[in-house]
Amino acid sequence: MTDFFIKSDISRNDAEKVVSETLKNCDDGELYLENSKTENIVLDDSKIKNSSYNSDIGYGLRAVTGEVIAYSHSNEISKNSLKNSSENLKSTLKSKKGTYNHSISKSNIKYYEDKNPIEEKSFSSKIKILEEIDKYTRSKNPNVKQVTANFLGEHKSVEIIRAGGEILTDIRPLVRFNVSVVLEKNGKKETGVYGIGGRQSYEDYLKNENWKKVCDEAFRIASVNLDSKPAPAGEMKVVLGPGWPAILIHEAIGHGLEGDFNRKKTSAFHNLMNQRVASDGVTIVDDGTLQNRRGSLTIDDEGTPTEKTVLIENGILKNFMQDRLNARLMKTNSTGNGRRESYKHIVLPRMRNTMMLNGTHTQEEMIKSVDKGIFAVSFGGGQVDITSGKFVFNCTEAYEIINGKIGSPIKGATLIGDGPSALKEVSMVGNDMMLDPGIGTCGKAGQGVPVGVAQPSILINKMTVGGTQI
């Protein structure tokens, strides 16, 4: 654990005093300290294109009263810097008066081990694997024109000091391994991307030459796309494969169930609590407690232990995802969803691992039931407009379905839908739930945080497919 005060001109004791003094007339707040190390090694064009190491340390002092948040952050953990921050916060909140809520739940359960993935594996051995990856992938086929692979490792120490001197800490490892392949045949170029990762050591993902499977998958996706034809345009039935396509759930429903949008009444879901928002049989949870998963957290960035929060149960809206501020204003409890990208960012309610649970149907049944539609196996990224509820996502691997059978692969097309109505159009939920491989990053208000998703195959009765063929 980092000792944030060892080289500082302010002692831990004095820092605690500044925190307590700053927050004495506030409803909530804390001093959040963070020390993160990140290493990124990129192989591209058969060369080690980049090796970078980042060491970042800083704090964010936050005071909250009523609905108002005052935040000040800096890289310099010093007497003078903390004093400036404290004064800045007090000047914003000078006309407000609150009562500090000392209560915060506790847990001893950890969802990942205290590891430093960067130091556990030597730089030279990482380079060696990247070079093997390049050789292996290029040897698969002469059409391979470009291979990019990277190792991204992170080690983050977090300390939260609350008014009254309560201290919460967490150490978070995170790794991600990615391979991207470009194929060219008869003048046509296509890309395939695949990756894996989570809150463990590299070895947990790379042992037994597991990396070959990642290369194989990236190559397979690019090959499928080489044979793709233009996508259809218009409204049709869509079957989504299990796993990563659950970013549909994340975009269509997840963001709309975050506490801030509902407290502010800007979400299309804000007045739908305990009402039907999805077909019967659709159950969605947001779970921060899955061992070693990318979206898991032992405590959130306010110090609240994470949990498994049921958002939608058999189609009925049950809970929003909350941080402390929005929970207080909506007279409920934090669900451990208070997250921030780093000490440079304010806390927002954010998703962790968002999952649709199993139903009873098979993927085969779904495909058989479709006369004309598409089967979407993998997606690039998605986006949602919370207010109108419209969301999109981009297919990176998809096929047409004709008369109950999977046909040719189709070019990457955007799918567009409407959040509040999309889940009502789900007519079959599969029995093949899968977690994504551990690659998701969610963006909100300019902050990126690691997340996970999971779902079984699902059949959606009606979505607009943004191809070029009418």
Partner 1 sequence: MIKDQSFLDDKASYCIDSAKKNGATDVQVSVGNSVSETVNFRNKKLDESERSDTLILNLTTFINKRKSTISSSNIENNNLDILINRCVETAKNSPEDECNTLPEQELLAKKISELNLYDKNHISNEKKINFLTEVEENVFMDDKIENSESSFSENKSIFTLANSKGFLSGYKSSSFSASCVAVAKSNGSMERDYEFTNQRFLEDITKADKIGKAASSNAIKKLNSKKISSEKIPVVFDKRISRGILSVLSSAISGSSIARNTSFLKGAIDTEIFNKNINIIDKPNILKGLASRPFDSEGVKSSEIKIVENGILKNYLLDTYYGKKLNLKSNGRAGGTTNLFFQNGSISFNDLIKVHPKLLYVTETIGHGSNIVTGDYSVGASGFIIENGEFIYPVSEITIAGNFKDIFKNLTLADDLEYKYATNSPTTLIEGMTVAGK
**Beta pairing partners, 183:** 144, 190
Q: How far apart (Å, rounded) are the C-alpha atoms in residues 403 and 369?
A: 8
Per CB under 8 A, does 265 bind partner 1? Answer: yes
Name the nearest CA neighbour of 86 among 30, 6, 169, 33.
30
Q: Is the CB of residue 242 less than 8 Å from the CB of residue 460?
A: no
Q: Judged by CB under 8 A, does residue 418 bind partner 1? A: yes
Q: What distance in Å separates the CA atoms of residue 339 and residue 470, rounded to the nearest whole number? A: 43
133 scored as a contact of partner 1 (CB under 8 A): no
| By the rule CB under 8 A, 97 interacts with partner 1 | no
Burial 111-128 (b: 16+ CB within 10 A, else e): bbeebebbeebeeeebee
CB closer to partner 1, 76 vs 166: 76
Under the binding rule (CB under 8 A), the answer on residue 229 touching partner 1 is no
138 in contact with partner 1 (CB under 8 A): no
In angstroms, rounded to a whole number, what is the distance separating the alpha carbons of residues 432 and 255? 24
Scanning 71-79, 303-311, 347-355, 364-372 for contacts with partner 1 by CB under 8 A, the matching segment is: 71-79
The per-residue b/e assignment along 417-426, b for 16 or more CB within 10 angstroms, e otherwise, is bbbbebbbbb
Closest contact distance (angstroms) between CB of 208 and partner 1 is 26
**Interface with partner 1 (CB under 8 A), residue from 54, 210, 275, 441:** 54
Instruction: Sort strands 405-410 and 316-317 into parallel, antiparallel or unpaired.
Output: unpaired
Q: Binding residues for partner 1, how many (CB under 8 A)? A: 81
Is 411 within 8 Å of 374 (Cβ atoms)? Answer: no
Q: Does 53 bind partner 1 (CB under 8 A)?
A: yes
Q: Does 391 bind partner 1 (CB under 8 A)?
A: yes
Supply the minimum distance, in Å, between the C-beta of residue 257 and partner 1.
Answer: 16
Chain residues 274-333 in contact with partner 1, contact rule CB under 8 A: none
Given 3-state DSSP classes, what are the helix, strand and coil percentages for the chain, each rounded to the nearest 5?
25, 40, 35
For partner 1, the binding residue among 127, 272, 273, 310 (CB under 8 A) is 127
CA dihedral 276, 280, 281, 287 (to 10 degrees): 0
**412, 430, 437, 440: which one contacts partner 1 (CB under 8 A)?**
412
Q: In whole angstroms, what is the distance from residue 17 CA to residue 431 CA?
A: 54
Q: Which stretch binds partner 1 (CB under 8 A): 70-78, 293-301, 306-314, 433-441?
A: 70-78
Contacts of 52 (CB under 8 A, 6+ apart): 39, 40, 41
Contacts to partner 1 from residues 144-203, by CB under 8 A? 145-146, 182, 184, 188-191
**271 sits near partner 1 (criterion: CB under 8 A):** no
User: Which of 233, 273, 316, 330: binder of partner 1 (CB under 8 A)?
Assistant: 233
Work out whether 469 is an interface residue with partner 1 (CB under 8 A): yes
Minimum CB separation from partner 1 for residue 101, in Å? Answer: 19
Please give the angle made by the CA atoms of 306, 312 and 313, to the nearest 5 degrees.
105
Confirm if 420 and 256 have CB atoms less than 8 A apart: yes
Angstrom distance (rounded) from CA 234 to CA 231: 10
Closer by beta carbon to partner 1, 241 or else 389: 389
| Partners of 376 in beta bridges | 240, 398
Q: Which among 38, 20, 39 is positioned nearest to 86, based on CA atoms? A: 20
Q: Does 104 bind partner 1 (CB under 8 A)?
A: no
Site for partner 1 in 355-384 (CB under 8 A): 380-384
* Interaction between residue 467 and partner 1 (CB under 8 A): yes
Distance in Å, CB of 127 to partner 1, minimum: 7
Window 106-125: residues binding partner 1 (CB under 8 A): 123-124
Which residue in 85, 335, 354, 363 binds partner 1 (CB under 8 A)?
Answer: 85
Q: Which of residues 234-253 bind partner 1 (CB under 8 A)?
A: 234-235
